[in-house]
Structure 1
Amino acid sequence: MGVQDDTGIEALAAEARAALVREIDAEGAFDGGPLWREAFGAVPRHLFVPYYYVAGPRGYERRWSQNPDPEARERWVRGAYEDVPLATRLRDGELLSSSSQPSLMARMLVALRVTDGDRVLEVGAGTGYNAALLAHRLGDDDLVTTVDLEPEITESARQHLAAAGYRVPVVTGDGARGVPERAPFDRIIATCALPTVPRPWLAQCRPGARVLTPLATGVLALTVRDAGHAEGRFLPTAAFFVPLRGAGHVEPGPVPPAGLPGRVREQDSFRFLLALTRGALDPREACALWEGEGAPERERYGVTVAGGRTWAWLDDPAGPGAWPLP
């Protein structure tokens, strides 16, 4: 692209970014964390997705910043600021990495409750965009560490961060093991789905730290007491993330059996319970519980790590509705 093209693209990106911030703000995602509004308005998402894939009738269409067609470049930059997840890496038809939906990112970052001076570990580097938002909010690149298993992902995240003016430490490794050499952390946020709470994370947290991680199509917010104890509840919002690759890899959740009533099978809150109790409750038992408790939503569930074990629960950690996690 020429200089004039670059100028036009940057102006279009600024306009689209401001529109995205207004859209997220109108949903109330910044309520309780207004400083994130400025971060989303400042960090250029398009620099973190120089190309991405959009599903279409003929398979995936690749949109990229260097397309010689000006209209195609415009579609690329406008698409970068839509409030949708963007597929960024595919291998043999499998989604390896994506840039999460911005409004969901905003809700998770607000729920992380970062304060000035916090040291934050992000598990799942992705494009580097989330790490840039954290670094912008904290005003210090070195307070943020991001880790991913795939060297290709970490290298591209490093390049994207540098292009946007950030020098966040990017580590290649198994996120389930944390990053002990950069510990201790005040906050840990995962942007990939896990089957349980990795114990190494707690050991790398300061007492009182907050951990936010996708689990069973929800987002769990834990408070860490010490290396062996943590507890918290799920946020109300649904969340579907690419599984963590490595020691904490999680397989896709079960499909509700055909024998269950159709009105139950299609309910998001039931499918969440089914994923949370996978291997611990028979689907029909889960159905009976779900109906008996009045179709509970995500925020009534929580997770406790204590005494060498981890379990999920409904309403009360010590109540009858509890199931072991891996």
Structure 2
Amino acid sequence: MGAHALDHDHDHDLDNLATLARAALVREIDRSGAWAADPVWRAAFEEVPRHLFVPYYYVGAVGGFERVWGEDPDPRSREHWVRGAYADAPLATRVRDGELVSSSSQPSLMAMMLTALEVREGDAVLEIGAGTGYNAALLAHRLGDRLVTTVDLDPEITESARRHLATAGYHPTVVTADGARGVPERAPFDRIIATCTLTSIPRPWLAQCRPGARILAPLATGLIALSVRDAGHAEGRFLHTPAYFVPLRGASRPEESEPQDLRELPRRARGDELFRFLLTLAGSGLDPYEAYELWERESRPVRERYGVTVDGADAWAWLDDPEGPYAWPLP
């Protein structure tokens, strides 16, 4: 038997391994309850081959990152690549000068976000942050290519996303542009989902939404679900889950603020994820001591007690009530 035939056999084995690994991932997401509210998403995860969207990725190694890829000459390394592609974990997909610039999100978090997006058949969806193209493929699987648009600022990212999507048999609209400005030529949208962290809500998104549209986006270290009333107004609360994403790059991104000095605070607050969320959300609107006092006084509020209101030029985050005493302006 020639080397070519052996290669072919091995590719066949890899395909089988991918099928088994994908089924195992679907069972794991199922157990997590991520799509319990909308189990139609299960079919998309069963059928969209994630490994085609991550032809290579990076794993942390001593002194930096090590590349794992599907064309590795060593068959064992190729198997390692396939198994990793179907782990319920985020994958580093682009590293520049030792820094992570793009990643493929954890599949169970993607499933939870897609479920929380509350799409209906016929909805036009805009995704901010094309990443590998995998999330756009899941959306296109459910809604059809015509209704899905994904945008990214980086032409390298959009080019590879388009290539991965085509390889997997999906052809949604992939646009290279500043996601903070939306994609006006494809508007209006019924749903907008962002897969990068925002510091504020870009106003062009609201103008490109139909009334009643839903926007789901990472903000601070949470996920905000906004209901859009019209081009100037939107409001909603945070979901219960934490979410950490690469920041949105582009026109509207203000400089990151300096990390605050928390050394004087009690250790239980410093290390508490929900306290950090409050600090990040309130930004310069609260110093760490005020934040700590509020956090204790309000019995360490969970994420769902916080929300965001956009009213014309103003936008603010709040606790419990948009008109209540606890409100902090967003940039």
Task: Verify same fold: TM over 0.5.
Answer: yes
Offset of residue 248 of structure 1: 3.1
Confirm or deny that 1:170 pairs with 2:186: no
Is there any run of 5+ residues in structure 2 with no aligned partner, and where? none
1:9 to 11, 14, 17: 14
* Alpha-carbon distance between aligned partners in 1 of 2:50 and 2:261, rounded to the nearest angstrom: 37
Confirm or deny that 1:216 pairs with 2:220: yes
Match of 2:300 in 1: 295
AA in 1 matched with 2:176: T
Confirm or deny that 1:314 pairs with 2:283: no
* Alpha-carbon distance between aligned partners in 2 of 1:325 and 1:249, rounded to the nearest angstrom: 12
* Alpha-carbon distance between aligned partners in 1 of 2:258 and 2:127, rounded to the nearest angstrom: 24
Offset of residue 256 of structure 1: 5.0
Offset of residue 5 of structure 1: 1.9
Offset of residue 253 of structure 1: 7.3
* Alpha-carbon distance between aligned partners in 2 of 1:27 and 1:78, rounded to the nearest angstrom: 19
Cα 1:286–1:104 shift into 2, 3 Å: same
Q: Which moved more, 1:211-220 or 1:89-98?
A: 89-98
* Alpha-carbon distance between aligned partners in 2 of 1:128 and 1:252, rounded to the nearest angstrom: 31
Offset of residue 59 of structure 1: 2.4
* Alpha-carbon distance between aligned partners in 2 of 1:174 and 1:182, rounded to the nearest angstrom: 14
Match of 1:226 in 2: 230
Confirm or deny that 1:97 pairs with 2:93: no
Equivalences for residues 98-113 of structure 1 within 5 A = 98-113=103-118
AA in 1 matched with 2:32: E
Confirm or deny that 1:44 pairs with 2:44: no
Confirm or deny that 1:259 pairs with 2:264: yes
Confirm or deny that 1:81 pairs with 2:81: no
Q: Which moved more, 1:206-215 or 1:50-59?
A: 50-59
2:193 to 176, 189, 193: 189
SS at match of 2:206: helix
Q: Which moved more, 1:255-264 or 1:35-44?
A: 255-264
Cα 1:93–1:58 shift into 2, 3 Å: closer
Deviations 1:204-252 (A, max 9, x none): 0000000000000000000000000000000000000000111233637
SS at match of 1:33: coil
* Alpha-carbon distance between aligned partners in 1 of 2:24 and 2:124, rounded to the nearest angstrom: 31
* Alpha-carbon distance between aligned partners in 1 of 2:123 and 2:104, rounded to the nearest angstrom: 24
SS at match of 1:116: coil
Deviations 1:104-134 (A, max 9, x none): 0010000000000000000000000000000
SS at match of 1:240: coil
Tell me which stretches of 4 or more aligned residues in structure 1 moved more than 6 Å.
none
Offset of residue 277 of structure 1: 0.5
AA in 1 matched with 2:315: T
Cα RMSD for the two superposed structures: 1.1
SS at match of 1:152: helix
Indicate if the aligned counterparts of 1:254 and 1:275 stay in contact, CA closer than 8 A: no
Match of 1:118 in 2: 123
Match of 2:253 in 1: 249
Indicate if the aligned counterparts of 1:146 and 1:168 stay in contact, CA closer than 8 A: yes
Match of 2:153 in 1: 149
Offset of residue 184 of structure 1: 0.3
Offset of residue 159 of structure 1: 0.3
1:28 to 27, 33, 52: 33
Indicate if the aligned counterparts of 2:64 and 2:98 stay in contact, CA closer than 8 A: no
SS at match of 2:286: coil
AA in 1 matched with 2:183: V
AA in 2 matched with 1:66: E
Indicate if the aligned counterparts of 2:90 and 2:107 stay in contact, CA closer than 8 A: yes
* Alpha-carbon distance between aligned partners in 2 of 1:193 and 1:180, rounded to the nearest angstrom: 21
Q: How many residues align?
A: 325
Indicate if the aligned counterparts of 1:192 and 1:244 stay in contact, CA closer than 8 A: yes
Is there any run of 5+ residues in structure 1 with no aligned partner, and where? none
Offset of residue 307 of structure 1: 3.8
Cα 1:142–1:291 shift into 2, 3 Å: same
SS at match of 1:278: helix
SS at match of 2:200: coil
TM-score with structure 1 length normalisation?
Answer: 0.98
* Alpha-carbon distance between aligned partners in 2 of 1:208 and 1:240, rounded to the nearest angstrom: 27
Deviations 1:84-112 (A, max 9, x none): 10000011112111000001001000000
SS at match of 2:279: helix
* Alpha-carbon distance between aligned partners in 1 of 2:36 and 2:167, rounded to the nearest angstrom: 30
